[in-house]
């Protein structure tokens, strides 16, 4: 919270600063530090930020929980608060939930933070239920879901609508934790890549 991230300096040979990892540079790190500072100053924690969005969305009908309004409002609130902390500037590293994006990285992060069971899930957040999560949809999960008949084979796009539809299908098997099938679908989709479908 003290702002030590301000000591990062852009290098002349790289317009966006030193590369930290692939497409993530020093200025991206500064963006996240500023944005997270704004989130923590306003809400006290990221969990409280998402919880406030869920409360604002109300208690949706269990049939509407498939990536229901609360989780998308939470992602939107997180994105807006991060931008506010950076003078209204957005970053390519935080997907826009109002677009057709399935917000895979954010849904995956939420899965790790919320789910309490599974080999990779931390379950640190107690005030957000796994029932409201949306499947982190990518090429492999989409491929497996289509081969298993969980998603319509056409169109073959893995956007927000497909993520919500797949989460709805998975909710039929486990209403309290539909995202529990994520690793199985991902692994099966990777293992059985074959021709892209």
Q: Quick: pLDDT tens for 54-74.
A: 877 654 443 344 445 578 999
Domain spans in the chain, listed from the N-terminal domain onward:
4-9+17-191
What beta strand segments (E) does the chain contain? Answer: 19-21, 24-25
Q: Which residue do the tokens 């030193």 mark?
A: 18
Digit-coded pLDDT (tens) for 158-196: 999 999 999 999 999 999 999 999 988 998 887 776 655
Number of H helices, E strands in the chain: 7, 2
Residue 191, judged by CB atoms within 10 A of its CB (0-12, 13-18, 19+), counts as: exposed
Q: Give the range among 72-81, 147-156, 177-186 with minimum mean pLDDT.
A: 147-156
CA distance 71 to 52: 11
């Amino acid at each position: 919270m003290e702002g030590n991230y301000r000591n990062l300096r852009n290098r002349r040979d790289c317009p966006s600063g030193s590369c930290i990892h692939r497409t993530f540079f020093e200025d991206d790190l500064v963006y996240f530090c500023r944005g997270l500072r704004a989130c923590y100053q306003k809400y006290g924690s990221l969990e409280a930020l998402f919880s406030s969005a869920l409360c604002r969305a109300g208690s949706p009908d269990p049939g509407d929980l498939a990536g229901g309004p609360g989780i998308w409002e939470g992602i939107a609130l997180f994105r807006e608060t991060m931008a506010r902390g950076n003078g209204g500037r957005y970053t390519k590293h935080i997907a826009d939930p109002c677009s057709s994006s399935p917000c895979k990285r954010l849904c995956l992060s939420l899965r790790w933070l919320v789910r309490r069971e599974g080999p990779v899930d931390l379950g640190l957040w107690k005030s957000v239920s796994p029932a409201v999560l949306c499947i982190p949809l990518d090429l492999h999960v989409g491929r497996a879901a289509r081969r298993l008949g969980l998603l319509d084979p056409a169109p073959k796009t893995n956007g927000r609508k497909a993520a919500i539809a797949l989460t709805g299908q998975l909710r039929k098997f486990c209403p309290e934790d539909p995202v529990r099938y994520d690793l199985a679908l991902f692994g099966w989709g990777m293992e059985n890549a074959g021709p892209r479908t």
